[in-house]
Amino acid sequence: MVLVLIACAAMVEPATTKQKTHNNTDGGFAVLELFTSEGCSSCPPADELLARIQQEKDQSVYVLAYHVDYWNRLGWKDVFSKPEYSRRQYAYNKLFTSQVYTPQVIINGKLESLGSDEKTIRDGLKKVQGEHTLTSLKLVLQDKQHLSYETGNITPNDRLVIAIVQKQAVSYVKGGENEGRTLSHVQIVRSLSQFELKYGNKGAVPIQLPQDFDAQGWEVIGMIQDMQTGVIKAAGRAS
């Protein structure tokens, strides 16, 4: 059973070698954001669907899994959870979503689906991948502390959002609704940062990559997002 509105607003806090990257320029793309939790018994099927989509290795699809923290009070603290991921989900709710729940999927900051509803998610991916985007994003990972970007056709409301992503992990859950289960995760967002875009559409931003960062286990995904509407206008990856 899907947990609907388990959290309320009061529970969530207010909001060395250069490597070339895969980036969208003028073609269609899809950013699939899953809001999930190890404490939610309805979430494993959504996590599994996310893994299948990721395994298809479509370079125009950017997969992100945010582990929210509002389940942590119900018997199991998700080690991957952070309050900023819950805040991001609530921000979407204020803009356009029907409610806050897990598992919930947002596509390109404008479409919503139950995280385990494969048909609706596949239809959403197909829809946004067929759309033309005027905004571009190119990223270059300079080192473990610096990321350079180049973008175009942006507006004053646009921000650069950077996610540092762990590609895989396995957890043994000792409490809560999934007690006794071993859960597999993919594309886990371990940190999320937002930056203003500089005049001229080029610049560099500070990042903090983990010491064990490598292309096999991690990746950096960037998005250009209109913070007034929530719509994601471009995406790119540095791995």
Q: How confident is the prediction along the chain (239 residues), in pLDDT tens digits per residue?
A: 333 334 333 333 333 334 434 455 457 999 999 999 999 999 999 999 999 999 999 999 999 999 999 999 999 999 999 999 999 999 999 999 999 999 999 999 999 999 999 999 999 999 999 999 999 999 999 999 999 999 999 999 999 999 999 999 999 999 999 999 999 999 999 999 999 997 778 999 999 999 999 999 999 999 999 999 999 999 999 95
Cis status of the peptide bond prior to 44, with omega within 30 of 0: no
Rg from Cα positions in the chain: 17
Query: What are the b/e assignments for 88-116, b being 16+ CB within 10 Å?
Result: bbbebbeeebeebbbbbbbbbbbbbbbbb
Query: How confident is the model at residue 26, as a pLDDT?
Result: 54
The strand order across the sheet containing 146-152 reads 136-143, 146-152, 202-206
Q: Are 205 and 161 contacting, i.e. CB atoms less than 8 angstroms apart?
A: no
Per-residue pLDDT of 42-62, as tens digits, reads: 999 999 999 999 999 999 999
**CA 183, 188, 192 angle in degrees (round to 5)?**
150
For residue 154, what are the contacts with CB-CB under 8 A and spacing of at least 6? 135, 197, 201, 224, 233
Structural domains of the chain sorted by starting position, each given as residue range(s) with its CATH number in brackets: 16-238 (3.40.30.10)
pTM of the prediction? 0.89
